[in-house]
């Protein structure tokens, strides 16, 4: 088999394996431990600054993680568990704020900033091309 063809075959096999692995991870069943970790990464520790309870070393965060694990084991939905903590600690406990009210600005600000950046870039490009056209060839 020619070397070039062998390379393409190896690359194709690697791509197929990568797709199978990614699909397996994406489609695979979520265990209770996975759910607890996922929920813990969405709930902010009330003691630490902007840190999830899953990552926080504080006693409060560990106790909250135990509550999450108990509620997952009891069969509660993710929404019910998040609402439980929201009722006790307020909306600030969520690292993934809802898309409403005051948090609407947080969700829309990146899009507004990106749009503003694009407008600025396009404006500078247009100004640059207008300046080039205004100068005659050979002028220094």
DSSP 94-118: BSS--SSTTHHHHHHHHHHHHHHHH
Higher-confidence position of 62 and 138: 62
pLDDT range class, residue 7, cuts 50, 70, 90: confident
The reply to whether 92 and 103 lie within a common domain is: no
Using CA atoms, how far apart are residues 5 and 1, in angstroms rounded to an integer?
Answer: 7
Q: Are 45 and 53 in contact (CB under 8 A)?
A: yes
Mean pLDDT of the chain: 84
11: domain CATH number is 1.10.8.640
The reply to whether 81 and 123 lie within a common domain is: no
The reply to whether 8 and 22 lie within a common domain is: yes
Residue 88, classified by CB atoms within 10 Å of its CB into exposed (0-12), middle (13-18) or buried (19+), is exposed
Higher-confidence position of 101 and 87: 87
Least confident window among 26-30, 77-81, 86-90, 111-115: 26-30
Count of structural domains, the chain = 2
pLDDT range class, residue 28, cuts 50, 70, 90: low
Which token pair is 130?
A: 């207008």
Higher-confidence position of 24 and 71: 71
The reply to whether 126 and 83 lie within a common domain is: no
The reply to whether 109 and 90 lie within a common domain is: no
Domain span including residue 134: 98-140
State the pLDDT at residue 60.
Answer: 92
The reply to whether 67 and 83 lie within a common domain is: yes
Q: What is the largest CA-CA distance in the chain?
A: 80
Which token pair is 52?
A: 């999830």
Query: Which residue, chain included where needed, has tokens 């809802």?
Result: 98
pLDDT range class, residue 89, cuts 50, 70, 90: confident
The reply to whether 35 and 102 lie within a common domain is: no
Using CA atoms, how far apart are residues 98 and 80, in angstroms rounded to an integer?
Answer: 14
The reply to whether 117 and 75 lie within a common domain is: no
């Amino acid at each position: 088999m020619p070397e070039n063809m062998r390379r393409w075959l190896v690359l194709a096999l690697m791509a197929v394996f990568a797709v199978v692995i990614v699909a397996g991870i994406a489609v695979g069943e979520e265990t209770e431990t996975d759910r607890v970790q996922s929920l813990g990464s969405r709930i902010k520790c009330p003691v630490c600054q902007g840190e999830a309870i899953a990552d926080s070393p504080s006693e409060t965060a560990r106790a909250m993680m135990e509550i999450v694990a108990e509620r997952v084991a009891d069969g509660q939905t993710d929404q019910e568990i998040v609402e439980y903590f929201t009722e006790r600690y307020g909306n600030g406990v969520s690292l993934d704020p809802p898309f409403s009210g005051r948090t609407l600005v947080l969700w829309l600000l990146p899009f507004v900033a990106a749009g503003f950046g694009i407008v600025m870039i396009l404006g500078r490009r247009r100004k640059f091309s207008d300046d080039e056209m205004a100068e005659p060839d050979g002028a220094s």
